[in-house]
Amino acid sequence: NFEELSGLKYTYFYNVFIHSSVKILKLKLTLSIVKFIGTQCICLVNLTFFMNIVLTIVSEILRNYSSQRLKYYLQ
């Protein structure tokens, strides 16, 4: 009976250990996925910010260029 009890205790602790290990692994996986998505979002935000700056500069250059051409034609 004592051996059965110790066996049950052993299997119980083994199950708890497996369960907690699986939980920890799931948590780690979730955290890594969240971290990956976070870095992707940050990259995306930086990219859009950079593209905004580039587009602003390009549009300014184009506007200046077109206004210069317009002045040239109007003279």
Rounded to 5 degrees, φ, ψ at 71 are -60, -40
pLDDT confidence bin for 72, thresholds 50/70/90: confident
DSSP state of 73: H
Q: pLDDT tens digit string along 1-27?
A: 667 777 778 888 888 888 899 999 999
Buried b (16+ CB within 10 A) or exposed e, 46-74: eeeeeeeeeeeeeeeeeeeeeeeeeeeee
